[in-house]
Structure 1
C-alpha cells in the first residue's frame, strides 16, 4: 500500500509486517523511520537489528535474524538497507519467503534509493507491498513543497506573516533539512510573536552592516552608488545569495504587477491597499514605476530567473550577474547593458 510520508501518522494506529522506505530525500527518510520506530517501541519492539546489503552480504543472516529468539525483548525490529534497491534473485526469494508467514513479533523496515517502475513492478516488491506500506520519500517540489512547509510551520506552531512564509519557500525549496533547522531556530527565537520577512533576514543573514532591505530601497530609489556599495558589503560579509535573489524577485514581481495593472487603466491609488504597500514606501514604488517600462521589467525578471537557475542547478554564485541586474534599475543602463547575456 502506497502512503506518502505526510500521511503516515494516519496509518500508525496499527503496525504492518514491513515498511518500504525508498527515496532521494535524507530528511524525509530519517523522519519517516523515526515515526515508525517510535510507534513500534510503544508496541514493545525494544530490540533493533541493522543489516546492509554490501558486497558479500549473506541473505541467510536476514533469515536467521528473523527466526532468532531475542535475548532482550520478545519483539524485534530489523532495518535492512538496500543501497541499490536490487536484492537480486537470492534476496528476492528470501524477502518473499519471510513475508509468506508474517511473525507478529518481528517488524521489517527496508530502506533504499528512489525506485524506478521496473523495481516497483518486480515480484519481490509487490509481495512486500501487499503485506506492508510503501513510503516514497522524494523531495517535494512546487505546491507539494509549500504543503510540506505549511505542515512544518504548523508543527512548530510558528506565527509567520505571508512574506516570511514566501521567503522560507524561496530560500529552502529542495532542502528539507535546512528548512526544518531554520524553523527549529525560529521556534526558539520567536515562539509566539508574528515573524515578518524583515525579521527573518536578521535571523538567517550574518550580522551585516547593511541589510537586503536597505539594498532594495536604494535600488527602487535608483541610488546606484549606494546600492553597489551595499551589494559589495553584503557579499564580503557572507550574505547568502538566495536571500538577495529572493528580495529582488519580490520587488521586480511587484513592480511588474503594478505596471500591468496601470496599463489596464487601474489608478495607482487603488493598488496600494491591494498589494499592501505602506505609505512610507509608496514614493519608492512611484519613482521606480516612472523610470522603468514593462519591457525593461520583463527583461530584469528573466535575468533574475537565469541567475537563480544557475545557482540551483549548477551551484554558481554569480555576484557579477547580480550587480548587472542591480544596475538595470536605472533605465539608462538598459541601453548599454541589456544586450549582455548571463551564462
Structure 2
C-alpha cells in the first residue's frame, strides 16, 4: 500500500485520479476527520455525489455492504462508501467482505475505511494486504508536544493571524493534547482580534486551559529534558484525578528500561541494538538516547531507589508526600538535581 502522510493527501488527490479505496487510521479525531473531508471533497469534484456511511461493530451485517455495492444507485450517481470501524478489528466475516470488495472493484464507488490506529497484527491481516494492492493508507499520527507549536503556527498563518513565538508557545500550553480545542480557540480569536494581530495578553485572557494530559506525555517530556513541561503535565494529571501509583509505574518502568539499555552498552553493544533488545520503539529511541547522555548509571540507580521510596510512601510505609516526591523524581529524570544525592539517600531511609 502506498503510504501517504496526511500532509501529502491533498497533493496526491490534486495530481492523481481517485484511488478505489482509502484506509484512514489514527486516534487523533480532528486530523482523521480532516483527512476524510479532503477525500470527500475530491470525490465530489470527480462526480461522486452520493455518500453512504456504515458504523461497524461486532453485530454488523457485512452482507449489507456487498449488497449496497452491487445495487445500482437510485439516480445512477457515483458513491462514496464509508466504513467506520471503531475497534479496528473486522473479524472473519469482515475480512472476507473486504477481500470480496477488492476483487470486484467498481469505478462507480470509492470506499473509505476509517479505523483507530492499527496495531502490528492488523497491519499484517489479509484485508489490509488486499487494500495494499489497490489503494492508499493514510496513517494519522498524533501531534506531539514538541510538534504542537509548529502545527499551531501553520494553523494561525492559514487563518491570517500574525503571531510571534511567545504567543504560539502560550497557546500551545493552553491546548496541549487537544487539537479540537485548538481549532475552536483559533475560530474564537477571529472574533476577538479582527485585525489578526495576537498578543500574549490576549491569549492569556481569552484562551481557556483545555490541555489534556497523559502519562506517556509526562515520560517523554522527562526523557527529553523538558523539566518545566514534565512538571506541568504531572500537575495536570493530578488535577485530572490520576492515581499516583499509575504515574510511578510509568516512570519506574522507563528508569528500568534506561538501566537495561545502559547495561547492554556497557557490555559493548551498540545503542540501537541495546534499545531494540529492551523493547524501545524506533520512534522513541532518540528520546532514550538523549536521556542516557544526560544521566549516569549512578544517577539511574538513585532514581530507581527514589521510585522504590515513593512506592512505600503511597502504600503508607513512609511518612512523606507522594506528589511532592513524584515532582522530585520527574525533575531528576529530566536532568534537574532538585536536592543533593546525599540528602536524598538519607530521606529514603526515613
The answer to whether TM tops 0.5 is yes
Residue 313 of structure 1: how far off its partner (Å): 7.3
In the alignment, the residues of structure 1 paired with residue 237 and residue 154 of structure 2 have an alpha-carbon distance, to the nearest angstrom, of: 24
| Aligned CA distance change for structure 1 residues 313 and 135 (closer, same or farther; 3 Å) | farther
* 1:251-330 superposed matches below 5 A: 305-312=230-237, 315-316=240-241
Pairwise CA RMSD: 3.1
Partner of 1:98: 101
Summarize deviations over 1:154-212 as a string: whole Å, max 9, x none.
2212111221011112221211100111111122322444212112122225xxxxxxx
Residue 73 of structure 1: how far off its partner (Å): 4.2
Partner of 2:114: 111
In the alignment, the residues of structure 2 paired with residue 88 and residue 167 of structure 1 have an alpha-carbon distance, to the nearest angstrom, of: 45
Question: Are residue 195 (structure 1) and residue 120 (structure 2) matched?
Answer: no
| Aligned CA distance change for structure 1 residues 5 and 304 (closer, same or farther; 3 Å) | closer
In the alignment, the residues of structure 1 paired with residue 166 and residue 95 of structure 2 have an alpha-carbon distance, to the nearest angstrom, of: 50
Partner of 1:140: 143
Partner of 1:83: 86
Residue 145 of structure 1: how far off its partner (Å): 2.6
Summarize deviations over 1:64-90 as a string: whole Å, max 9, x none.
111110003420111111121111122
2:158 to 155, 159, 162: 155
In the alignment, the residues of structure 1 paired with residue 204 and residue 11 of structure 2 have an alpha-carbon distance, to the nearest angstrom, of: 36
Rg larger for: 1
In the alignment, the residues of structure 2 paired with residue 203 and residue 83 of structure 1 have an alpha-carbon distance, to the nearest angstrom, of: 35
Residue 307 of structure 1: how far off its partner (Å): 4.3
Partner of 2:247: none
| Aligned CA distance change for structure 1 residues 117 and 75 (closer, same or farther; 3 Å) | same
Summarize deviations over 1:81-127 as a string: whole Å, max 9, x none.
11211111221122122112321110101111111111112121021
Partner of 1:271: none
Structure 2 regions of 5+ residues with no counterpart?
Answer: 212-224, 243-322, 328-338
In the alignment, the residues of structure 1 paired with residue 43 and residue 8 of structure 2 have an alpha-carbon distance, to the nearest angstrom, of: 17
In the alignment, the residues of structure 2 paired with residue 241 and residue 33 of structure 1 have an alpha-carbon distance, to the nearest angstrom, of: 25
Question: Are residue 19 (structure 1) and residue 28 (structure 2) matched?
Answer: no
SS at match of 2:82: strand
| Aligned CA distance change for structure 1 residues 144 and 18 (closer, same or farther; 3 Å) | farther
2:41 to 19, 34, 38: 38
Residue 15 of structure 1: how far off its partner (Å): 0.9
In the alignment, the residues of structure 2 paired with residue 21 and residue 313 of structure 1 have an alpha-carbon distance, to the nearest angstrom, of: 34
Contact preservation (8 Å) 1:20, 1:129: no
SS at match of 2:181: helix
| Aligned CA distance change for structure 1 residues 118 and 313 (closer, same or farther; 3 Å) | farther
Summarize deviations over 1:307-343 as a string: whole Å, max 9, x none.
43230476259xxx99xx9xxxxxxxx9xxxx99xxx
2:177 to 174, 177, 188: 174
Question: Are residue 165 (structure 1) and residue 168 (structure 2) matched?
Answer: yes
TM-score for the superposition, normalised by structure 1: 0.61
Residue 18 of structure 1: how far off its partner (Å): 1.0
Aligned pairs, how many? 234
In the alignment, the residues of structure 2 paired with residue 63 and residue 34 of structure 1 have an alpha-carbon distance, to the nearest angstrom, of: 24
| Aligned CA distance change for structure 1 residues 314 and 20 (closer, same or farther; 3 Å) | farther
